[in-house]
Amino acid sequence: MTGLAVTDLCKSYPAAGGGRREVLKGVSLRIDKGECVGLIGESGSGKSTLIRCALGLEKPDSGRVDYEGSFVHEATGPDLLLFRREVQIVFQDPFASLNPRMTVEELVGEGLLVHRIEPSRARRRACVAELLGRVGLEADAMHRYPRAFSGGQRQRIAIARALAVSPRILVCDEPVSALDVSVQAQVINLLADMRSALGLGILFVAHDIGVVRYLCDSVLVLAEGRVVEEGPTETVFGDPQHDYTRALMAAAPVPDPAEAKARRALRRQQREAARGSEP
């Protein structure tokens, strides 16, 4: 098989009152190169835990993660290097994810050095300049430190850093949640462009249904550590089967006033129905 496959993943953490709390309860998903998969679910549903396990940053209790047919948690040597290079991540908070003591040149060029893609400093610098251009930043940005940039610009730097090593799959954990709305749209468009230009597979974690609808071919809805609904994006959102997906959709902001009004009416009905079922 190709791409990244997560099969029946379970993960628990020690619970506050003793024992363990299951955070992932048998989750499976798959991303092929060139495909964009959305992962949505409310805060605490296990999205970031799933990503950490899928990237080999944490070991699941059971289940497996395979990349290009090899078992990630047992991979060593060349298989592990290939995985670390070809599957990259962009985190939610561009203020915390970039080392403030490194220049943009060092940040974006680090992977080229670590993976021995471009040992020559002059050629590395040329690659960094090209990558910055690709994400819409001037080449002379490379001489500055992250603190000199806005949130949206920092997220572009983080994307350039991830793209430097020619990944095949980009995992984005709520990459625009910390940005304001106009900047969100620019970063989303950048990801969409990179996907078509480079044939990247993207796993896109979000709260925002509108963004997932725009960007993703298919979507998984996670609730309390389980996938409760999945399928092609328009099928899932066009006819949501699970109450949880309906609730998420009803809570999403809607640009169309008529639809927004219809949703407010739906929420009112749901509240009344819930009150009616109270003992």
Output 198 or 252, the one with its CB closest to ligand ATP.
252
Question: Least distance from C-beta 161 to ligand ATP, angstroms?
Answer: 21
Residue nearest to Mg ion (CB): 48
DSSP 207-247: S-HHHHHHH-SEEEEEETTEEEEEEEHHHHHHS--SHHHHH
CA distances from 234 to 25, 122, 243, 257, 258 (A): 26, 47, 17, 21, 20
β-strand partners of 88:
170
Report yes or no: 277 and 253 within 8 Å, Cβ to Cβ.
Answer: no
Q: Which of 7, 28, 48, 235 binds ligand ATP (CB under 6 A)?
A: 48
Give the neighbor-by-neighbor strand order of the sheet with 20-31: 20-31, 4-14, 62-67, 70-71
By CB under 6 A, residue 46 contacts ligand ATP:
yes
| C-beta closer to ligand ATP: residue 49 or 155 | 49
45 binds, among Mg ion, ligand ATP, none (CB under 5 to 8 A by kind): ligand ATP
Stretch that binds ligand ATP, among 42-50, 102-110, 118-126, 138-146 (CB under 6 A): 42-50
Instruction: Tell whether residue 44 is a contact of ligand ATP (CB under 6 A).
Output: yes
* Contact status: 177 vs Mg ion (CB under 5 A): no
Measured from the CB atom, the residue of 23 and 75 that comes closer to ligand ATP is: 23
> Of 13, 20, 114, 193, which lies in the binding site for ligand ATP, with binding defined by CB under 6 A?
13
Q: How far is the CB of 241 from Mg ion (least distance, A)?
A: 24
* CA–CA distance, 13 with 249 (Å, rounded to integer): 30
Contacts of 174 by beta carbon, 8 Å cutoff, 6+ apart: 47, 92, 205, 206, 207
CB of 225 to ligand ATP, least distance (A): 8
Q: How far is CA 35 from CA 21, 45, 145, 199, in A?
A: 33, 23, 33, 8
Task: List the interface residues with Mg ion, window 24-63 (CB under 5 A).
Answer: 47-48
Question: Which residues sit at the interface with ligand ATP, rule CB under 6 A?
Answer: 13, 23, 41, 43-49
Residue ranges in contact with Mg ion by CB under 5 A: 47-48
